Amino acid sequence: MGVEIKVENLSKSFGKQLIWGNVSLTVPAGEICVMLGPSGTGKSVFLKTLIGLLKPDEGSIVIEGTDIATCSEKELYEIRKLFGVLFQDGAMFGSMNLYDNVAFPLREHTKKSESEIRDIVMEKMDLVGLIGAEDKLPGEISGGMRKRAGLARALVLDPEIVLFDEPDSGLDPVRTAFLNQLIVDLNAQIDATFLIVTHDINTARTVPDNIGLLYHRHLAMFGPREMLLSSEEPVVRQFLNAQRVGPIGMSEEKDADELAAEEGQELPPLPPIPLQLDPSNGIARRSQRPPGEWCRENGVTPPPGSFEQNMTMVTGS
């Protein structure tokens, strides 16, 4: 049924360079969250901190009553069994074929017989559409396939929390759409907590229940999807709509001159909020909220044309 991740006051720096500070957020149980941010703002570092691969300098990450930032190595290995992580390049073990890769966690952690393992592995391989490729080595397949194989391996222990490190990087738009649909369907099926780190705004606009934005060494905003998509906050607005006008520049932030040059420039209107991606069986996920609910509850008027069927995705205007 998914597990909540409670992050408080988290800071991380490498040497003297602060990556991000003071990050506080709660990833609600069973919901899909997306963590956005311009390149190089430490999104992957955030993900690695969540699974305890990197130790934060300050703050706490509480999962099921255990603080990952301070717990012992032994507890960490226990708590990690709740996690499934999809790494950027899949991180498949190069010396094993795909079948053995996916079966690896089962063989290490369970006492299942080989035939039971085979059933589970085949089910997961089917889920990600890799039936027939079990005997391939990770070096012999495309990046997209490696990613899907990585997803199969991440799901094999029925995790309570699934983390995705840029699931859409290096994939073509069609495959990205399929993968996004797969993520939504998976969430409907296993009800785990999903956290996706990405900078693909298409994914961010249509997939999650909640969106977070890391920018300029802090968490700029975290909240329900509709809150961020209807937000007038300059950074959020610029990033989620892929505009050049705004505080984010080519290298991190713009300097005063560039900002002054933009003074008075008319911001393009907020594009309409698209409908959230439904599971392919059409039955809403447990954590899914009806379109426009947040806007109504908080008295926010969504941009005109929001929540219409078959809306074209126009961004970057």
Partner 1 sequence: MSSLTASRVLAPVGTAGNLFAFGLDVARSLFRRPFQMREFIQQAWFIASVTIIPTALVAIPFGAVIALQVGGLIKQFGAQSFTGSAAVLAVVREAGPIATSLLIAGAAGSAIAADLGARKIREELDAMMVLGIDPIQRLVVPRVLACMLVAVFLNGLVSVVGVAGGYVFNVVLQDGTPGAYLASFTALAQLPDLWQGMLKALVFGLIAAVVACYKGMNAKGGPKGVGDAVNESVVITFMLLFVVNFVMSAIYFQLVPPKTG
Q: Which residues bind partner 1 (CB under 8 A)?
A: 48, 51, 53, 77-78, 80-81, 83, 85, 87-89, 91-94, 104-105, 108-109, 150, 153, 157
In the three-class reduction of DSSP (H, G, I as helix; E, B as strand; rest coil), residue 117 is classed as: helix
Taking the complex as a whole, the smallest distance from the CB of residue 78 to partner 1 amounts, in Å, to 7
Beta carbon nearer to partner 1, 51 or 120: 51
The distance from CA 62 to its chain's CA centroid, rounded to whole angstroms, is: 19
Beta carbon nearer to partner 1, 93 or 296: 93
Taking the complex as a whole, the smallest distance from the CB of residue 94 to partner 1 amounts, in Å, to 7
Taking the complex as a whole, the smallest distance from the CB of residue 113 to partner 1 amounts, in Å, to 17
- Contact in structure between 199 and 38 (CB atoms under 8 Å): yes
Beta carbon nearer to partner 1, 71 or 267: 71
β partners of residue 8: 60
Q: Which residues of 229-248 are buried (b: 16+ CB within 10 A; e: fewer)?
A: bbbebebbbbbbbebebbbb
Helices 114-127/143-155 angle, 10° precision? 130
CA proximity to 167, closest of 49, 86, 51, 46: 86
- Contact in structure between 35 and 196 (CB atoms under 8 Å): yes
Beta carbon nearer to partner 1, 91 or 245: 91
- Contact in structure between 51 and 85 (CB atoms under 8 Å): yes
Beta carbon nearer to partner 1, 159 or 224: 159
Taking the complex as a whole, the smallest distance from the CB of residue 91 to partner 1 amounts, in Å, to 4
Beta carbon nearer to partner 1, 107 or 286: 107
H or E element in which residue 173 lies: helix 173-190
Taking the complex as a whole, the smallest distance from the CB of residue 233 to partner 1 amounts, in Å, to 34
Taking the complex as a whole, the smallest distance from the CB of residue 253 to partner 1 amounts, in Å, to 27
